[in-house]
Structure 1
């Protein structure tokens, strides 16, 4: 990894760290989720970066992939357990971090289970460590608290402009996961804990999308859908996006039809909201790290 690349990873991580701390400070019951996300995404931009994906605000049994829709009226409930997942990029170099803010004392230990799992995992990381060893520490930590990890959610490798870049770091001791942390690469370690079954399922709601480029199929789009595609591609490439970001580009009444047209042409990937199968409460913490031949940089713990 070149020094310039490392510096961009580090700067993105510093900004993500600052935004995460601001999220922990300002998140409150009865706050509109759209207001929270707008403040945090604007902060990312004001600090000199761009969102790597729409900020996720996943409440209670919702584990991941909820970002506000257009004119979203959802508010944070009084006794909510709120997971805030933040992505930042500088020139495509990504930092991915998450935290949980709980307003219900019944779930204090569930929050600590995920937090401690991340802390313990980061204590053992080093160049060459096997992914399943990281997963073992995460699983053992969460189970010591009396809870389960989410078995079908995981950490992941990160490359330029790609958040999930192929490698999977399990949240349990999966001996089939034989990969290792390799120098020159970036990874996100992302424990989820639950008092439910330990598995998530897709809900019938999509709020996050990403382009899947295919130049031949782009030519078949209507002129309005092609314009939307080009605007998104020029600003995001294949990074995830939310429809609310493009209301200044197209009419709000037409944007849903346009994204449907893109999906029918296979030009967009949809990320359904994920919920715990047994409707258990879910907690989450996450850091990004960059591996060199001699050391580990935890980029999102640097502010």
Structure 2
């Protein structure tokens, strides 16, 4: 029996369908005092169980954390009482990625912010069309957020997706910006406005030790064991991000020491947690789209 590889569109759509199901299940696990480690592991298990693979570690970021918090090995961190929680997950099928995020407010005081973030994404998706410039699109997103009484974060953006590439060289801004890029047919993009209250700095800074890594170089390594691990990381993740806890599961706690050495050598890149500079709470919603000549497919909806 011959095995037929999926077309890129089929793979994008399947990844999106899995991501939609997984994020809906994940939302039910966001509760006060829940362990973030358990949430991340269950979400990632669900991705695999539904026939996909994680495109990056499950992110569970709270309050002023905008993105990139994933559980460390043996993490004891919990969901805070009354928190504003961002659940961001990535799924890939044969390298074709679906990226989706949702914000859950565990207190009614977040209702307006959460609703504004949801409406800003909904409006942004309605504006996308082939050939639309990113500059014009960013203006649409910025204006919508402001009309609702909020502002988009200046240095966080959506991004074009590629096979096994989460950020494929083009950022999709959430503000007006000078760029010659535009939405192109047959390309996939993650659309993700991040918003905060007016008066916030509305920029993010890196803070805290990262638990997310990515193989970024193939420099020659004299240490044979380290070189073997680099090859295994490439074989398994193909340049996509991975979690430090995945390394512990694979290589034991000694794997963390090797990971630190690879970071120092510039072979592995580490991602810090992104925090709003004035500690303003951040809300985010995200969908993945595939541009067709006659329509826009929201793969994660």
**TM > 0.5:** yes
Residue in 2 aligned with 1:278? 278
Distance 1:145 1:248 in 2: 45
Contact 1:13 1:299 survives alignment (8 Å): yes
Find the aligned partners of 2:224 and 2:107 in 1 and give their Cα distance.
50
The runs of 5 or more residues in structure 2 that have no matched partner are none
Q: Secondary structure at the match of 2:250?
A: coil
Query: Which residue in the other structure is 2:292 paired with?
Result: 292
- Residue aligning to 2:243: 242
Query: Does structure 1 residue 265 correspond to structure 2 residue 265?
Result: yes
Superposition pairs for residues 206-225 of structure 1, below 5 Å? 206-214=210-218, 216-217=219-220, 219-220=221-222, 222-225=223-226
CA apart distance, 1:226: 2.6
Q: Deviations over 1:134-155 (max 9, x none)?
A: 2122111211222211010001
Q: Does structure 1 conserve the Cα–Cα contact (< 8 Å) formed by 2:134 and 2:173?
A: yes
Matches within 5 A, 1:71-86: 71-86=74-89
Structure 1: 5+ residue runs without aligned partners?
Answer: none
Which residue number corresponds to residue 66 of structure 1? 69
Partner of 2:166: 163
* Counterpart mapping for 1:175-254 below 5 A: 176-195=178-197, 196-214=200-218, 216-217=219-220, 219-220=221-222, 222-252=223-253, 254=254
Residue by residue over 1:107-147, the C-alpha shift from the partner in whole angstroms, topping out at 9 and shown as x without a partner, is 21111111111000111111111112221221112112222
Specify the alignment match of 1:10 in structure 2: 13
Q: Could you tell me how far apart the structure 2 residues matched to 1:249 and 1:57 are?
A: 22
* Change beyond 3 A, Cα 1:245–1:258: same
TM-score in terms of structure 2 length: 0.95
Q: 2:173 & 2:187 partners in 1: Cα distance?
A: 17
Question: Within 2, Cα distance between the matches of 1:224 and 1:81?
Answer: 42
Report the aligned-residue RMSD.
1.4
**2: CA distance between counterparts of 1:131 and 1:39?**
36
Q: How many Å separate the matches in 2 of 1:82 and 1:164?
A: 23
3-state secondary structure, aligned to 2:42? helix
